Amino acid sequence: MGIFDKLKDLKDSSRASQHSFQSSSPNTLPLEQSLKRYRKQRGVNLGSWFTTEDWLATELYKHALEPRGSDFDLARAPNAKALMEHHWDTWITDADWEWIRGRGFNSVRLPIGYYHLAGPYPDVLKGTDYAPYAGVYEGAWQRILSAIDTAGRYGLGVLVDLHAAAGAQNTDGHSGMSHGKVKFWDKTNLKSTSLALRFLASNLASNPHVVGLEILNEPKNDNRLQGWYESTLAELRPLTGPDFPIYVSDSWDTSWYAQWAGRRTDFVVVDHHLYRCYTPEDKAVDGRGHAAKLALEFAPEFNHWCDQAPIVVGEWSAALDDSRLPQDTPASERDAQKRAFVNAQLDLYQRAAGYWFWTLKSGRDWDAGWSAYNAAQAEILPASMVRGRLRQPGDRDAACRQACDSHVGYWASQGGRPNGHVFSSAFCQGWDDAAMFLHSEGQAELGFVAQWSRRRRDAFQGGQLGDDAWQWDHGFKQGVEALNAQALE
C-alpha cells in the first residue's frame, strides 16, 4: 500500500468515526401533539429487557460468566450475541404490550446501557470496558427503536433511561458492571456518556412516542453531580430545545434537586425512587406500618418537593421484607400487607407528575413484590391504574367568574394590580386543556401543569405579559384544578 492509499484510509476512517448530531428546533412537536409528554405518567418499567439483572432474567444468567452479576458477564459468555438477541426478541411480546395497556398504564420506562448504541455509534464504546464486546450489541439499537414504535402503536409513551453508563455510575450490577466500583468519573467514561447522551437526545427529541430522556439512573451521590447535570443539560439543549423533558435522578437527595430543578426554566424532571425493604429501619415495619408512615410522615415532605419542581417516582414496588411477619403468616395476609402499602403509594403519587412500577415481569416463578404481573394476580395492584371515573363538570364560565372575582378582589385589597383579563383567559385555557387531557386516549390528567402553562402563556398575546406572567400561571393552575375537581369522581 502506498503512502497516498494510507492517507486516504486514515481520512476515510476519521470520517466514519464522526457523528453528526442534528439539532431539533425548540417546540419541535406542536403542543397538541405532545400530550404524551405532559400527561400524568402511569407507567411500568420494562426491567431486564435491554439492561439485565440476574434476579430477573434468571434463565439468561445461567449462561453468564462469573460473577454473573451484570451485562458485562453476559457479554463475555460463549455465543453471547445470539443469547442476547434471543432475549431481546422474546422478553417482551405483543401480549405484554396488550396487558400493559389493558391495565391502564399509559407509559413504560425503558432502561438501556451505553453499549446498546454499539451498532449506530461505535465511538461510544471506545476505551470503555465494553469495547471488546461491541459486536454483541450491534443489533440492540434497532430493537430499541422498534420497541418505541410498538409502544406508540399501543398508545404508550416511552421514557428512555440511561441505566448503565460507562464505568458504572453506582456500585450495583444494573449499572452494567460487577466490580462494585464507581468509575463513571474517569475521563474516558465521561466522554463516552456525553457521546451516548448527545446521540440519544438528537435521535429521540422529535419522536412523539418518547416522553423524555433520563440521563443517568441512580448515580451515587457525589459533589460533582450537580455540575455534571448542568454541563450535560447545556450540551443537550441545543439538540432538543427547552421543551423536551429531560429527567434527572435525585441521587436520594431530593430536597436539593427539587429546589435546583425548580429554578430552571427548561423542562427538567426530578426522578425519585421509593423503596421500603432494604434498610434495618424499613425491615422493622410491616406493610400497614409503611402505609401509615407514608401518609402521615412522608407525604408532607413529598408534597413540598412537588410544589417546588416536577417530581416523578421512576421506580417503586410492592416489595417488603416479610421477615418481620411470623413464619406462619398466611399468603392472604402477606398480600394484604403489600396491598395496603401499594394503595398508600398510589395515593401519595397523586401529587406527583407520574410513576413507573418496578417492574413488569420476573423470570422467577412468583414474585408479587416486584412483578407487576404477579402483583396484579394477587390483587395487590388495582384492576386498573386509571383512578377516578369521568363525570360531567359544571359551568366553566361561572367557575371562571367566581375565581376571577376572588383573584381581583384579593390582590386589589393588597394594593396590587390584578389583571382580570389575563387571569380569566388563563383559567379558561387551563379548564379546557385539563378536559382535553382527561378525554384523550387513556384518560390521563395533565401532569406537568407549570410546563404546559408556560407554553400556553408564550402563545398568549405573543408572550408579552411582562409582570402579569404570574397571573397567567395562577389562573391556568386554578382552571386545571377546578376542572379536575368537578370532572373526576
Q: Of the residues 346, 377, 408, which one is the last residue of a structural domain?
A: 377
99-110 tens-digit pLDDT:
999 999 999 999
| Count of beta carbons in the 10 Å neighbourhood of residue 50 | 27
The reply to whether 476 and 437 lie within a common domain is: yes
What is the signed CA dihedral for 179, 218, 46, 488, rounded to 10 degrees?
170
What's the pLDDT at 23?
60
- The total domain count for the chain is 2
The reply to whether 179 and 76 lie within a common domain is: yes
Q: CA geometry: angle at 273 spanning 267 and 276, to 5°? A: 160
Q: Would you say residue 24 lies in a domain?
A: no
pLDDT at 223 over 50: yes
pTM recorded for the entire structure? 0.95
Domain range holding 203? 34-377
Q: Would you say residue 13 lies in a domain?
A: no
Burial of 185: CB neighbours in 10 Å, binned 0-12, 13-18, 19+: middle
What is the signed CA dihedral for 226, 227, 232, 235, rounded to 10 degrees?
140
What's the pLDDT at 30?
82
Q: What one-character DSSP code corresponds to residue 272? A: E
* % of residues, the chain, pLDDT over 90: 91
The reply to whether 343 and 431 lie within a common domain is: no
Q: Of the residues 317, 343, 377, which one is the last residue of a structural domain?
A: 377
Q: Would you say residue 174 lies in a domain?
A: yes
Give the separation between CA 74 and CA 62, rounded to whole angstroms.
9
Q: Would you say residue 171 lies in a domain?
A: yes
Bigger pLDDT: 28 vs 111: 111
pLDDT at 15 over 80: no
Give the separation between CA 260 and CA 268, rounded to whole angstroms.
10
Q: Would you say residue 371 lies in a domain?
A: yes
Residues 6+ positions from 110 with CB-CB distance below 8 Å: 46, 49, 50, 144, 147, 148, 158, 159, 160, 161
pLDDT at 26 over 60: no
Q: What residue spans of 268-327 are helical by DSSP H?
A: 280-283, 287-293, 299-308
Cα separations (Å) of 477 from 405, 416, 436, 457?
A: 16, 20, 15, 12
The reply to whether 355 and 416 lie within a common domain is: no
The reply to whether 356 and 459 lie within a common domain is: no
The reply to whether 61 and 151 lie within a common domain is: yes
The reply to whether 365 and 430 lie within a common domain is: no
Q: Would you say residue 217 lies in a domain?
A: yes
The reply to whether 187 and 293 lie within a common domain is: yes
pLDDT at 129 over 90: yes
The reply to whether 406 and 372 lie within a common domain is: no
The reply to whether 315 and 404 lie within a common domain is: no
Nearest to 216 by CA among 203, 202, 206, 231: 231
Q: Would you say residue 15 lies in a domain?
A: no
The reply to whether 413 and 351 lie within a common domain is: no
Q: Specify the amino acid at residue 242.
A: P
The reply to whether 366 and 467 lie within a common domain is: no
What's the pLDDT at 489?
87
Helix axes 469-487, 449-459, angle to 10 degrees: 130
Q: Would you say residue 3 lies in a domain?
A: no
What's the pLDDT at 28?
59
Q: Which residues pair with 160 in a beta bridge?
A: 110, 213
CATH label of the domain that carries residue 223: 3.20.20.80
465-483 tens-digit pLDDT:
999 999 999 999 999 999 9
Cα separations (Å) of 94 from 147, 151, 348?
A: 11, 10, 31
Give the separation between CA 14 and CA 312, rounded to whole angstroms.
42
